[in-house]
Structure formats: structure tokens, C-alpha cells
Structure 1
Amino acid sequence: MSANRSTAGTPFEWRVLLTPLVVFLLLFLGFPVLVDLVYSVSQVTFQTLRSPQIAGFGNYLEVLGDDAFWRAAGFSLRFGILTALAECGIALFLVILLAPLLEKHSWLLAPLMLPLMVAPAMVGLMYRLVLHEFAGPLPYYLYMWFGDTPAFLDADSAFWTVSVVETLQWTPFAFLLLYVAYEAVPEEVRQAAGLDGAGGWDILRYIDLPLMGPTLVVAFFIRFIDGFRVFDNVYTLVGAGPGGVTASLPIYIYEAFFKQGAIGKAVAASVLLFVVSFAVLFALDWAGRRFSTREAN
């Protein structure tokens, strides 16, 4: 009994161990959050950063009444859901297709991960050059071969173009998570199901997918969160796009801050984005705990 008590540690010892973490959070997170909250309810410019004038919740009302904010929110939501579904679906297909090959030649996993090594901003710049309607090689060869080429970055196509670019870069991340989950399924279970007459589709449907389910959900929500807050590759590829069709919430905040000089408005929008992100994470944590409790019972 005393050994268990000494291993667990006393409350005082836990407070001592947690003190550096608490101090770090207060210094590097708490202070910026406090400043943002003050700026979000203030009239402030670059000249008055040190002396903001408290003005109430006008910045929040301005943001919530701005059509551009809701268009950016709609883009972020659609972009996050679409790319997360595409990345997880393609990754799951590739895992099932390539698992036997990777089992024999595990070194092939390295080139599959290469897109993750490129900075998203560089990916955006690369595809901007590739898809440029005047200088890009892809439009050039499409026009030379077929006599016409789509405008990849116009108002009608920009959303799908940035979605494809995002999917191409981040599918390997989902693939890595799902491949690890697929390899973790005990081979004895598959063999036992095969002896009972289960075919490949039955094994996938009733054994592999249920056991991979938690990882699949985690992969989807990680990619959704990352897609919802996308900035760098979209901004370097097409910016806010024609008519703001590719303006995500981070791009909206960036342009309000640096291009419009509306610091209070930009900070208020960032606070709203933080609240929504926190609510999503809280909901995911609650759902995960409930799922774990149900599985335990």
C-alpha cells in the first residue's frame, strides 16, 4: 500500500511538477489571449497599440454583420469537410491496395511520405507556377493537345483547384495513420475469419473497418481541423481568389489586420475562430469519452 502511495506521489509533489507547465501556459498563452480579448473590444490602430480605447462589442457586431466573414466561414467549413473526406477515403483505399506490397517492401513507404516534407506555402507557389494560365506548363500542354484549357484559378474552378492541391499534399498523412491501424489488426483474427468462410470483403467490412474505426475518426478530425484553418498554401496559390471565393477565415483575419488596418475587427474574428475551434475540440473529446465508456461497458 505504501509502495503504491509513493509511486503515485503526493498532491504537493504533483503541484511542484506541474508548476513549470502552468507558468509556461500563463506566459506564452495566457498573456497573448488576454491582450487579444482587450483588443477585440477596443478601437485600436497600429499607432494606438499601446493605448487601445475600450469601445464595447462593436467589433464583434461588425464581424458578425460582415458578409465576407460568413463567406469565409462557409469556405472553411466546406473546404475542411471535403478535403478531410477525400484524404481519408483515398488513404483508406491505398492502404488496402498497397498493404501487401508494403509488407514485402517497407522502404516504399518513404517516397509515399515525400509530399509531407514540402512546406505548404511552397506547394502553393509550385502549383501557382504549374497552373498559371499564361506561363504554366499544364495549361500550355492542354491547349496544345486539345485546343482548349480550363481556367484553374478562376471564380468557378478555384475552390476545386485548392481542394485538389490540399488533398494531394495531405493524403499521405492520413495514409500513414490508417496504415499503422491496419497493420495493428491481429492477423490471427483475419485468418480465423477466413477459416470460417469469410471472404475478403467480409473481413474488411466486419473486422478491419470496425477495428480501424477510432483511427479513421481521429484522422478525419485532424485533417478537418487543419483544413478548416487553412491559410498558407491557399494564400500563396490564389490568395482570397476572384471575388473572395477562396478566402478562408485565417485569410479573412489576415486581410482585415494587414490590408484594412482593422485590428480590433481582425482580433474579434480570431477570437470567434478560437471559440468555434475550442467548441469543436470539446465536442470531439466528449464524443470520444462517451464512445470509450460505451465500448468498456
Structure 2
Amino acid sequence: MISQQRKRKGLFMILPAIVLFLVMTIYPFIYMIYNSFTNLDLSKKGTGQFIGLKNYFEIFQDRLAISSIEFTILLVLIAVPLEMIFGLGLSYLLRDLFGEKVLRSLFLIPMMVPAAVGGFGWKMLFNFIFGPINYFLGLLGFQPIEWFGKLNSARMAVMIVEIWQWTPFVFLILYAALQALPKDILDAGKVDGASGWKLFMYIELPLLRPIIYVTLLLRIIDVLRAFDTVYMTTYGGPGSATSTWSFYAYKVTVSYGWNIGYGSALCVILVIVSAILINTLTRILNIGKELGLSKE
């Protein structure tokens, strides 16, 4: 048993970290919630009055906000599943392959590249006039594509960059999980006649399921706050076609306006939606039970 004196001493030691956490995290979050109920606009005088839920009602009438929601949903429904599929496929195919260590390091490069550098590089690759992608499409007999000039192509380009950058993250986690699977279970499966694809589908994949679910949640959380890829490639264009929710909140509060009240409301909605979505997925996928954290 830990004595009361040691408990008090331990609490005293971590007190600075608790205070720092409250000052740097909790207070700004509460202040943001308060601002979401005001008309605070740093570009105008005489603002900061309490206006109730007016900012929240305006969100549902804001065409740009609705467009940002649509693109964020597309990233969750298209980019994230493709990242999971590609990451799982690479982790399976890479095992016991010649040059495995070298290939593993190469696959991780996109994740290690800073978002600013990666986004700028892809912007050059997608360039309509001198971009290599359009050049190779021309060699194959296709017409050049205005990647950042049209709605569908711009959205596809951002998704390609997102998948390129974050598939290695999924690969890294699932590859490590595959390496850590209990050998006795795999050996027992091989003795029973399972090998290759059947061994993976009926033994390894079920064992990987908890890790897959957690990785999926991590990617969804990250995509919901996607910002840097959009900022470095399309800046939300054309129009607001590739603006994510986080990027639109940035534009409202910092870029083309200083409407702190409305931007705070956008951020609060994002937090609420993220919490509801993650909790719902956690219940549906039964992650607590899969990880052995729940007795139910």
C-alpha cells in the first residue's frame, strides 16, 4: 500500500503538469465555447456581445460550410478505407520479401515528409502545363487534366495526396501487428492445413481485427481535422470544393476574416461531431471488448 505521504508527494510532483494542461488546453477550450455564443469579430469595433445560438444557426445556412462538410465526409468515406486497404495489403505482401527492410523504409518516406514539402511537391506534379502527371497521361493518349481547376479532379487530387501520405501510417501499425502475432497459433493453423491466403483470412486477419479498428479510428480522427494537405495544394479551391471543415474554420477566423465568434462555433461543432462519431464507431465495432478493456 502506498502511504498518504507518498501520495501527496506524488501529487505535488505532477501538479505543475496539471496546471500547465489546464492553462494550455482546458481554458482555451472553454474560452472558445464562450466565444461561439458571441459576435466577436476582431475586424470590427463594438463586438463581443452575447448572441446565443445565432452562430450555430448560421452554419446550416452557410453554403461554404455545407460544402466543407461534404468534402470532409468524402475523405472519411473514400480516402480512409483506401488507406486501410492499401496499408493492410502492403503489410501482408511485404513479409518475407527480398529486400524487406529496404522496402519497409521506402514505404515510410511519405509519412516522414513534412506536409508543407509533400503538398508543394504534389502541387508541382499536378500542374496543368508542366506537371509530370499530365505529361505521362499525354504519352498514354489522354488529354491533360486541370487537376486543381475543376471540382471532381481537385477533390480526387487532394484524396490522392492524403492517401499517399497516410497509407504508410496504416502500413506501419499493421505490419508491426503482423510481426507480433503469436507463432504458436500460426503454427497450429499450418499443421491443420492452412497456408498462404487461407492462413491470412481465417487466422491472421481475425487476430488483427482489434488493431485494424483502432487504426481506423485514429485515421478518422485525423481526417476530420485535415488541414495541411488542403492548405498546401488547393487552398480550398476551386471555390470551396476541397475545403475541409478545419480549413474553413481557419479561413473564417484567420485567413479572410477575423470572425472569432463564428469560427469558434465551427470548431465546437467539429468537436461535437467528432466525439459522437468516434463514440458511435467504438460501440458499433465493440473496440473495448476487442482490446480486452471491457468485461461485457
TM-score by length of 1: 0.87
| Counterparts in 2 of 1:47 and 1:141: CA distance versus 1, 3 Å | closer
- d(CA) in 1 for partners of 2:21, 2:222: 22
Aligned partners of 2:79 and 2:159 also within 8 Å:
yes
- d(CA) in 2 for partners of 1:193, 1:277: 40
| Counterparts in 2 of 1:147 and 1:184: CA distance versus 1, 3 Å | closer
Cross-structure match for 1:271: 268
| Counterparts in 2 of 1:107 and 1:15: CA distance versus 1, 3 Å | same
The yes-or-no answer on 1:201 pairing with 2:197 is yes
The more displaced of 140-149 and 188-197 is 140-149
| Counterparts in 2 of 1:111 and 1:147: CA distance versus 1, 3 Å | closer
- d(CA) in 1 for partners of 2:232, 2:192: 54
Aligned partners of 1:83 and 1:224 also within 8 Å:
no
The yes-or-no answer on 1:261 pairing with 2:258 is yes
Aligned partners of 1:231 and 1:248 also within 8 Å:
yes
SS class of match (1:65): coil
Aligned with residue 21 of structure 1, among 17, 21, 35:
17
Structure 2, unaligned runs of 5 or more: none
Aligned partners of 1:80 and 1:226 also within 8 Å:
no
Aligned partners of 1:87 and 1:170 also within 8 Å:
yes
Cross-structure match for 2:129: 134
Q: Deviations over 1:180-218 (max 9, x none)?
A: 110111223222211112232321122100111111111
Aligned partners of 1:72 and 1:252 also within 8 Å:
yes
Aligned partners of 1:81 and 1:224 also within 8 Å:
no
Q: Deviations over 1:125-146 (max 9, x none)?
A: 1111111112323223433552
Displacement, 1:78? 1.7
Displacement, 1:33? 1.4
The more displaced of 219-228 and 38-47 is 38-47
The yes-or-no answer on 1:111 pairing with 2:106 is yes
The yes-or-no answer on 1:45 pairing with 2:77 is no
Q: What is the identity, as a one-letter code, of the residue corresponding to 2:268?
A: V
Displacement, 1:6? 2.9
The yes-or-no answer on 1:87 pairing with 2:86 is no
Please report the RMSD computed on the Cα atoms of aligned residues, expressed in angstroms.
Answer: 2.6
- d(CA) in 1 for partners of 2:239, 2:129: 21
Q: What is the identity, as a one-letter code, of the residue corresponding to 2:31?
A: V
The more displaced of 204-213 and 34-43 is 34-43
The yes-or-no answer on 1:180 pairing with 2:179 is no
- d(CA) in 2 for partners of 1:254, 1:136: 29
- Aligned positions, number: 292
- d(CA) in 1 for partners of 2:152, 2:142: 20
| Counterparts in 2 of 1:9 and 1:296: CA distance versus 1, 3 Å | farther
Q: Comparing both structures, which one devotes a greater share of its residues to helix?
A: 1
| Counterparts in 2 of 1:95 and 1:50: CA distance versus 1, 3 Å | farther
Alignment of 1:1-12 (within 5 A): 5-6=1-2, 12=8
Q: Deviations over 1:136-175 (max 9, x none)?
A: 2322343355262222222121111111111111111100
Q: What is the identity, as a one-letter code, of the residue corresponding to 1:273?
A: L
| Counterparts in 2 of 1:266 and 1:205: CA distance versus 1, 3 Å | same
Structure 1, unaligned runs of 5 or more: none
Aligned partners of 2:288 and 2:294 also within 8 Å:
no
Aligned partners of 2:42 and 2:259 also within 8 Å:
no
Q: Deviations over 1:66-105 (max 9, x none)?
A: 2321221121122023221111101111111111127x74
The yes-or-no answer on 1:62 pairing with 2:62 is no
- d(CA) in 2 for partners of 1:21, 1:294: 27
Displacement, 1:177? 0.2
